Amino acid sequence: MQAFQRPVVENEEFLDADGAPISYGTRWAVSPPPEDTYSVTAHPQRFAPLEKIADALIEWLVGEFDADASDSLEAASDLMHPVGLDGNHRVARAVRVTPAEPDAARITVIYTIHPGIVVHAGLLHDFLFPVCGCDACDETWDGSADELEWTVRTIVGGGYSEVYDPERSLAVGFALREDGVGGRSGSTGHSDIAVERLDAAIPVLTGGRQWSAWPERSR
């Protein structure tokens, strides 16, 4: 299997109101963000390179693994919150990639109007890139791309698990772990999950579900 190679992406320069280049990622290293930068994204196009990264990831998935891709807006129904967190996350494109191994987690890649990428994986989790995108958070496209690539690589490598634990207030959880690299995990409540969707997931996720690695494509 060939490792994923990020396509070449040219950095675009963005200017502030005074015409000076904005150094995204280091703007608030010394002082906290100004109040008027919260919930504001002056240059959302700085995340446009994520679309090229997502295109390359989908091509890698179907080229290196025994998996099929379906490019249809209907696939956006896989999202836990189909219209995203706000109007900026409206769907522009959706690609569902299904591995031949039924015990491996399916991945759906959602391209949003913002622009940005949302990855739905397995049954009950969405991962946003960027996580927020507002000026106060000061995220960068390449930092988001690092997280996007790592998340997809970890899922297909068998390092992704989900759990439903009714004994906990935050009953729905996930974990991403890559040996020798690291991991992250999280949990949330289930009150805003559609009843029929939760009912379908509970038998699979109760007690925890470690999703299998994707099978490689035969050469």
More confident residue, 6 or 30: 6
Q: Which of 131, 147, 209 is nearest to 172 (CA)?
A: 209
At 51-107, the pLDDT tens digits run: 999 999 999 999 999 999 999 999 999 999 865 444 555 899 999 999 999 999 999
Q: What is the percentage of the chain residues whose pLDDT exceeds 90?
A: 86
Q: Is 185 strand, coil or helix?
A: strand
Q: Name the packing angle between helices 49-64 and 141-156 (round to 10°).
A: 20
Over residues 137-156, the mean pLDDT reads: 97
Pairing mode of beta strands 125-129, 116-121: antiparallel
Over residues 144-157, the mean pLDDT reads: 98
pLDDT of residue 114: 85
Distance (Å, rounded) from C-alpha 139 to C-alpha 166?
A: 34
Q: In what order do the strands lie in the sheet with 182-188?
A: 182-188, 172-178, 160-164, 209-210
Residue 13 has pLDDT above 70, yes or no: yes
pLDDT of residue 17: 87
CB 148 within 8 A of CB 161: no
pLDDT of residue 88: 52
Distance (Å, rounded) from C-alpha 168 to C-alpha 152?
A: 28
pLDDT of residue 16: 87
More confident residue, 213 or 11: 213
Residue 24 has pLDDT above 70, yes or no: yes
pLDDT of residue 30: 83
With bands split at pLDDT 50, 70 and 90, how would you rate the model's confidence at 39? confident
Tokens of 141: 């496209």
Task: Name the phi and psi angles at 165, rounded to 5.
Answer: -125, 100
pLDDT of residue 10: 87
pLDDT of residue 35: 92
pLDDT of residue 85: 45
Around 113, how many Cα atoms within 13 Å sit in the side-chain half-sphere? 9
With bands split at pLDDT 50, 70 and 90, how would you rate the model's confidence at 208? very high
Over residues 142-150, the mean pLDDT reads: 97
Distance (Å, rounded) from C-alpha 189 to C-alpha 80?
A: 12
